[in-house]
Structure 1
Amino acid sequence: MAPRRVVQLSLEQPTHAVCVVGVEMVVDVHSDVPKGAKTFGAAGSPGVEVSVLYDPQRVTRPSGKTRWPLDASVDVVVSVDTASKDLDDLTVRVSYFGEHESRALGHATLYLTGVDVSLDVDTDRTGTVRRSRGDKKTWRWGPEGYGAILLVNCDRDSHTSMRPDLASRQLASMADLQDMSPMVLSCNGPDELFDSHKLVLSVPLSDSKRVGVFCSRGGNFLSDYKQVLGPRQLSYKVERQPGEQEVRFYVEGLAFPDADFLGLVSLSVSLVDTGTLPEAPLFTDTVVFRVAPWIMTPSTQPPLDLYVCSVLDDHGSNEKFLDDMSYLALKADCKLIICPWFENRNDRWIQDEMEFGYIEAPHKSFPVVFDSPRERGLKDFPYKKILGPDFGYVTRKSLFSGPSSLDSFGNLDVSPPVTVGGQHYPLGRILVGSSFPEASGRRMAKVVLNFLFAQRVQAPVELYSDWLSVGHVDEFLSFVPTSDKKGFRLLLASPSACLKLFQEKREEGHGEAAQFDGLDNVIKRSINEMLADRTLQSDNLYAQKCIDRNREVLKRELGLTERDIIDLPQLFTQKDSYAEAFFPDMVNMVVLGRYLGIPKPYGPIIDGRCCLEEKVRSLLEPLGLRCIFIDDYLSYHKMMGEIHCGTNVRRQPFPFKWWHMVP
C-alpha cells in the first residue's frame, strides 16, 4: 500500500488541501499545538470521514467526550466519499484542550476539495470497463483471476498502408479501435481546481516500446484520435475540457511476450499540484495489462481454411493434387485457398513457411500468422497476402545465422489439450524438433524458441528430429480427433509395425506382392526382398529407436498411455547418416475434421487392395475417421515432403479462454 499523504495544520491560518475520493490522507495534529494543550478533538463536515488511528498498547481510547491525547501514537485520517462541487466546500476542524479545561485553547481548520480521479480498464475481463477500487496493479491467472488484457495490434486495417497497424502512430481506421483495449480516466471535481492542478498520463520507459495509447475526443473521424503515449512519448498532460468527467483512451500492444519481455505493461495517471516547486504528484493510480499470447491450434480443431500451392516445374503441374485437395476441402466443409505459382515462385512447401494461430482478449479475437525464418519462394506470401483486416502477422528471424531446415514450421506442431501429473494444459503443448539432447546438431533458431516459450500457455516440448534428413516432427507424428472421452489419438510412424505387417503377409503366402506396384518408372520391391534386405532392416531398426525415444518423451510430457497411441506402418532409408521415408510417409497427412488426406503409400497389392492402406483403415476408421489416400509421389514425396508439408490449415480457436489457466 502506498504511504498516506500528510497535511500539516496551522493555528494561524486555514490550511487548504485536495483529497482524492476513496484515498485516505493523514492530518498532522502535532506540529502546531497551543501551549498547554494535552488533548484534541477532530470533526468533519458532511461528506468527510474522520477517523483516529492509535496504538492500543500505548493509548487508551477515550470515553465520553471524544478527546484524544496528543500522543505521537495517535494519527487523524480523513477521506471523502464524493467529488466537490466547489473549491473548499468540505472542512475538518481540530480543537485543542488543556489537561482539565473544557474550553478549547485553539482551533485549526482544514478546507478540503474532493476530486474523483481513477484510471480503469477491463480488470474483470468482461469485455467492458467498470469502475474498480480494487488491486489494479496486479495481474492474476486463473478462473478467479483478474487484470486487463492487451492485443498486439498486428493486423492491417488500413487500405493505404502496407505495414501492420502497430507500425503507425496514426489510427488506421475506426475499425482499428476494436483491436485496442479501452481505458477510462475519471476526473470529476470543480473546474477551478484544474487551473492549479493537472492530470498526467505516463508509461515507464521499459514499457514504452511495447504499448501505444490513443486519446479519444469522442468524434467519428480519425483526426479525433491521437497517439499520446508510445515509444517516443512517455507522458501526456491530459487535455480535460470544462465539466468533463471522463476521458477515454484506447490501448494497443506493440510487442508479443519474448525472452526480454514478460508480457506485463503498466500505465499510470497522476494528479499533480502545479503550484509547488517542484511540481508534486498528490495521487497516482496505476493499471496493469498482460499482452495476449500467440496461440497455436492443433490438428484436432475444426478446419476453416485449407491452403495449398499451385506449382509448375519439370514434372508438370500439380493440378491433380489440387483437385484432390478441392475434393477433401469440400467433404470437410472448409474453404480452399490456392496460392498461385507466380506468388509462391514454385515453392510448394506452404506448411514450412508459416503457422496459423490466434490472439484473444475478452472483447476481441483474430487470427495471426507466424512467419518462419525460412527464406524461400513463399517468403513474401504471409506478409503480402495474409496480413490484412483482422488477420495479424508476426515473425522472428535470427540476426546472426541463416535458417536451417529445422527452422521450417513442418518442425512445429501442438498437441490437443492434455493433463500431465495433475497439471492441465487446456491449450495443448507445443512440439518442436531438435537435435539429440547430449550432442551437437541442428536446432530450431533460438529467437523462435524464445518466442514460443515466452507465450507460456502452451509450454513447449523439444523432441528429437535431427535423425531425419529434413528434420521435421511432422515426418513421424500427427494427431487425429476422436469422439471418445480422450478426444484424440497420437499417430506415430512405425517401422516395426510395417515390418510386422509384411511378415504376416509373407506367412500368408503373399511374399511376391511388391511395394510401389502401380507406379511407373519405379523399381518394385517384393515383400520377400524387403524382409531379406539387411541394410533396410538396419536402417529401420535405427529409425524405430529414434521414434521410440520420442515416444517416451511424448508419453511423459503429454500424459499419454499406449492406448492413446496408434502406430502407422512406415519404412525409412538412411542416406548420408540421415533418414528419409522409403515410401510416401502416411503419418504426414492433412487432418480436416474426420477427413484425413493421407499420402498414398503404393504398398503391396493383396486381393486387389493395398495392404498398407487396408491396415491404416483398420486402425483409424473404427474411430469415426475417413481415410482418403491421395497420390503425392512425384509432386511431393520425391522432393522429400508429403501432403502435410504441402498444405496448411487455419482452424477454429479454442473455446477455452487462455487467461483462465494457471501456467
Structure 2
Amino acid sequence: MPAAAQATKRSRFHTMDRRPARSKPCSMSLVSRAWTWGPRGQGAILLVNCDKDNPKSSTIDCRDDRVLDNQDLQDMSLVTLNTNTPRDFFARHQLLLHVAKSEMDKVRVFQASRGNQISRYREVLGPKQPCHPLELPGGQHSTDFYVEGLAFPDANFPGLISLTVSLLDTSNPELPKTLVFQDSVVFRVAPWIMTPNTQPPEEVYVCRMLENEDFLKSVTALTQEAKCQLTVCSREQSVGDRWMQDEIEVGYIQAPHKTLPVVFDSPRNRGLKEFPIKCMLGPDFGYVTRGPQTGEVSDLDSFGNLEVSPPVKVGRKKYPLGRILIGSSCYPSNESEEMHQALQDFLSAQQVQAPVKLYSDWLFVGHVDEFLSFVPVHKGFRLLLASPRSCYRLFQEQLEEGHGEALLFEGVKKKKQKIKDVLSNEKLREDNSYVQKCIDWNREVLKRELGLTERDIVDIPQLFKLQDDLQGRLKAEAYFPNMVNMLVLGKHLGIPKPFGPIIDDRCCLEEKVRSLLEPLGLHCTFIDDFYAYHLRHGEVHCGTNVRRRPFSFKWWHMVP
C-alpha cells in the first residue's frame, strides 16, 4: 500500500465531547456522516456562544471574531485533528478545513497554536471564510480547534453543521489538485429549551413600581419560603413597565461540557426592553431574540402567551422535556391575531418541545396564562384550568346554604356584589357560558396533545366578563382577580387574592382553592394584586418571571 494511503487510513478527525457515544473518532466514510438522536446517538453538539464574557462588550460573544479569555473558550466545542504521516508528506499534499457556504454564517472556528496566550487562537473559518488551508508538519501531530455556534436552529436552518477536512494530492504542479480523502464531524446546534413550573425555581424576577410595595413584600416572602433568589428590577430599569412575564422567557442551552441559561427576549419592546440585555446578559448568561424589532407586534407576541407543559407521554410518543404551548386565534379572520411567524418558526425549529397551539384570541389580552397553569405534585403534575362552571357551582352551593348576601370585592371596590346578584345576572351568565365553551375547547386539545385524563386536571373557580377592546371587539377578562394566573415556586404558590365572598370570616373562593390544592401537598399564599395588576388586565404571573433548574434529562437522548 502506498505511504500516502497508509497515512490517510490512520488520520482521525474527532470531537472531544464527554459522552462516550459521541466522543469516538468520526468514521472516514462519507456514508456515515450523520447526526443521530437517542441515547446511542452519534454526532457532536455545539453551543451558540450567546453570552457576554466581556463586561465592556456591547454585544454577545459570537458576534466578534476573537477569543476573549479562557471563559470564552468554555462556551465552545473542542475539535482535535490527529495526523500521522511520513515526514515529507505535506510537501506533496495539502489539507483543507472547510464548511459548506450555506453554513459559513452559522459557525466560527478558531485554530489553537502553541503557547499560553489568548492571542494564540485565530479565526480560520466563519462568515467571511468557508475554507482554510492547514499548514501542518509531517509525522504524528495533533491540532486543536475551538468551534462556536453563531445561530440557533430556525426556519431556514435545521441546526446541523458539518466541519470537513479534505486531503488534496499536490504532487504534480502541472496538474490540478486531486481530492484523495475527506473526513467530517457533524455538529447539531443545541436547542433553546424552556422549563415548566414543575422544575425547581432558582431566581424570581419582578419590577418595583410606585404602587406595588405590598405586592413586592408578598413576593419577597414567597421567594424566601421557596428558598430561591429574588431580582427586583428598579423603576429606572423598567421605565414604568411592570409586565415581566410578557418581556422575557428564561430557558437554557446545553452541551455535554456546559449548561447555559439563556433569556429569550420578546419583540414587544416596551419599558422593559433593555432589561434582558443590560441586567441579564453577561458571563454564562445568554441572550436570544426573534420577531419584528420594529413595526407592528400584537399582544400574542408577548410571552405570557408562551408556556410549556411538564414532561408528558402521548400514546407511545414521549415528550421528556414537555411541549410548548402558545395561544392563537385558531382560525383566520379580519380581526384575528396570531403570534408572529418568526417566533413560531424559532420555537418549532428547536425540535425538542413540539409546540401546541391553543385558542386564546377570545381573551382581552390573549395569553394562555390567563386560563391555565401547571403545578407539581408527587410523581407528576396537575393542569389547572380556570372554570366559570366551577365558580357558579360554588356560589350556588353558598346561596343554598343561606349565604346569598355575602359580598365580593369587600375592601377594594365601592360597588360590591352579592352572591345572589352574581347568580341572577343573566348577562354575566351569558358571558361565562361563552368563556366556558372556549376553555372546554382548550381542555380537549390539551388532553389530546398532552395525553391527559380528567384526573390530571383541576378546575379553579373563576368568572370572566366581556368588554370591548381597543378595536371594538368583545373580549373576555377576569371578573375578579384570576387565580389560575399564579406564581409557582415548587410547592409554594403565589395566587392572586380573589376578594371573594366572606363566609364565616373566610373567603369562600380561597377556601375552595385550598381544598383543591393543599391535599396535593401544595401551599397556597394569596397575594393582593388588585390595584397594581388586576385593574391593569394582569395578575401575579403576568408581573413576575422565574429562572428554573434545567432538566436532568439530556435533550440529545430523546427522539423528536
Tell me, yes or no, if the aligned pair for 2:386 and 2:484 is still in contact at 8 Å: yes
1:582 pairs with 468, 479, 483, which one? Answer: 479
Q: Please point out which of 478, 482, 489 is paired with 1:592.
A: 489
Shift of 1:130: 4.1
TM-score between the two structures when normalised by the length of structure 2: 0.95
**2:471 counterpart residue number:** none
Residue 607 of structure 1 corresponds to which residue in structure 2?
504
Q: Is the 8 A contact 1:125 1:149 kept in 2?
A: no
User: How does 1:82-121 map onto structure 2 within 5 Å?
Assistant: 116-121=10-15
Distance 1:134 1:630 in 2: 62
Confirm whether residue 617 of structure 1 aligns to residue 511 of structure 2: no
Q: Which residue of 2 aligns with 1:112?
A: none
TM-aligned CA deviation for residue 123 of structure 1: 6.8
Corresponding position of 1:462: 357
Cα distance in 2 for residues equivalent to 1:358 and 1:143: 20
State the one-letter code of the partner of 1:284.
Q
CA deviation profile, 1:204-255 (whole Å, cap 9, x unmatched): 1011010111111143222010110011011111132465610000111110
Q: CA deviation at 1:191?
A: 2.5
- In structure 2, the residue matched to 1:92 is none
* Residue number among 495, 505, 513 corresponding to 2:388 in the alignment: 495
Task: State the secondary structure of the residue aligned to 1:205.
Answer: coil
Displacement of 1:401 in angstroms is 4.6
Amino acid at match of 2:347: L
Which SS does the other structure have where 2:551 is aligned?
Answer: coil
| RMSD (CA atoms) | 1.7
Residues 298-324 of structure 1: CA distance to partner in whole angstroms, max 9, x if unpaired? 011000000000112xxxx31111111
| 1:446 pairs with 2:446 | no
Paired letter, 2:279: K
Task: Report which structure shows greater RCO (CA 8 Å, sep ≥6).
Answer: 2
In 1, the alpha carbon distance for the partners of 2:280 and 2:154 equals 23
Q: Which residue of 2 aligns with 1:50?
A: none
Q: Which residue of 1 aligns with 2:449?
A: 557
How far did residue 505 of structure 1 move?
0.1
**Larger deviation, residues 169-178 vs 566-575:** 169-178
Aligned to 2:337, the other structure's residue is in SS state: coil
Query: Residue 118 of structure 1: CA displacement?
Result: 2.0
Aligned residue in 2 for 1:334 = 228
Match of 2:121 in 1: 225
Structure 1 contact 632–643 (Cα < 8 Å) conserved: yes
1:177 aligns with 2:82: no
- Identity of aligned pairs, percent? 58
1:172-199 CA distance string (max 9 Å, x none) = 2211111111111111112311122221
Is the contact made by 2:17 and 2:78 (CA closer than 8 Å) also made in structure 1? Answer: no
Asked if 2 retains the 8 angstrom alpha-carbon contact of 1:478 and 1:589, the reply is yes
Aligned to 1:89: none
Task: Tell whether the 8 Å contact from 2:194 to 2:308 is kept in structure 1 after alignment.
Answer: yes
Where do residues 28-107 of structure 1 align in structure 2 (5 Å cutoff)?
A: none
Structure 1 letter corresponding to 2:548: R
- SS, match of residue 375 in structure 2: strand
Letter in 1 for 2:341: K
| Higher radius of gyration, 1 or 2 | 1
Encode CA deviations 1:573-616: one digit per residue, 9 max, x unaligned.
00011001000000000000000000000000000000000000
- Whether the 8 Å CA contact 1:426–1:661 is kept in 2: the answer is yes
Shift in Å at residue 348 of structure 1? 0.4
Q: 1:430 aligns with which of 324, 346, 350?
A: 324
**Which structure dedicates a bigger proportion of its chain to helix?**
2
Give, in whole Å, the separation in 2 of the partners of 1:375 and 1:127: 43
Where does residue 161 of structure 1 map in the other structure? Answer: 57
Deviations along 1:65-106, one digit per CA (max 9) or x if unpaired, are: xxxxxxxxxxxxxxxxxxxxxxxxxxxxxxxxxxxxxxxxxx
Alignment correspondent of 2:83: 187
Give the alignment partner of residue 433 of structure 2, picking from 523, 541, 548: 541
Amino acid of the structure 2 residue aligned with 1:537: R
- In the alignment of these two chains, the number of paired residues is 550
Shift of 1:126: 4.0
Give, in whole Å, the separation in 1 of the partners of 2:452 and 2:28.
42
Once the 2 structures are TM-superposed, how far is the Cα of residue 504 of structure 1 from its aligned partner? Answer: 0.3
Q: Secondary structure at the match of 1:379?
A: helix
| Residue in structure 1 matched with residue 217 of structure 2 by the alignment | 323
Does the CA-based 8 Å contact 1:128-1:363 persist in structure 2? no
Q: 2:529 aligns with which of 629, 632, 641?
A: 632
CA 1:134–1:476 in structure 2 vs 1: closer, same or farther (change >3 Å)? Answer: farther
CA drift of 1:21 comes to 4.4
Q: Is the 8 A contact 2:22 2:41 kept in 1?
A: no
**Residue 129 of structure 1: how far off its partner (Å):** 4.5
Partner letter of residue 459 of structure 1?
A
Structure-1-length-normalised TM-score: 0.81
Q: Partner residue of 1:298? A: 196
Amino acid at match of 1:230: G
Post-superposition shift, 1:438? 5.7
Question: CA separation in 1, counterparts of 2:480 and 2:137?
Answer: 74
Aligned in 2, Cα 1:563/1:129: closer, same or farther, shift over 3 Å?
closer
Alignment pair present for 1:343 and 2:240: no
Structure 1 residue 437, shift from structure 2 partner: 2.8
> Counterpart amino acid of 1:291?
V
User: Which residue, out of 261, 266, 272, partners 2:162?
Assistant: 266
2: distance between equivalents of 1:384 and 1:244?
48
CA contact (8 A) 1:129 1:184 kept: no
**Given that residues 308 and 338 in structure 1 are in contact (C-alpha distance below 8 angstroms), is that contact kept between their aligned partners in structure 2?**
yes
> What does residue 41 of structure 1 align with?
none
CA contact (8 A) 1:124 1:147 kept: no
Contact 1:129 1:182 in 2 (8 A): no
Which residue in the other structure is 1:526 paired with?
418
- Contact in 2 for aligned 1:20/1:283 (Cα 8 Å): no
Matched, 1:477 2:463: no
TM-superposition CA deviations, 1:488-525 (whole Å, max 9, x none):
00000000100110000000000000110132x43100
Tell me if the contact between 1:434 and 1:463 (Cα under 8 Å) persists in the aligned partners.
Answer: yes
CA distance in 2: counterparts of 1:306 and 1:127, whole angstroms:
37
Q: Is the 8 A contact 2:17 2:257 kept in 1?
A: no
1:148 aligned partner: 44
| Deviation per residue, 1:521-541 (Å, 9 max, x gap) | 431000010001111101100
Which residue of 2 is the match for residue 43 of structure 1?
Answer: none
Is 126-135 or 210-219 further displaced after alignment?
A: 126-135
Assess, with a 3 A threshold, how the Cα gap between structure 1 residues 611 and 566 changes in structure 2: closer, same or farther: same
Match in the other structure for 2:297: 403
Give unpaired runs (5+ residues) of structure 1.
1-6, 8-15, 24-115
> Structure 1 residues 332 and 243, CA, compared in 2 at 3 Å: closer, same or farther?
same
CA distance in structure 2 between the partners assigned to 1:436 and 1:175 by the alignment = 45
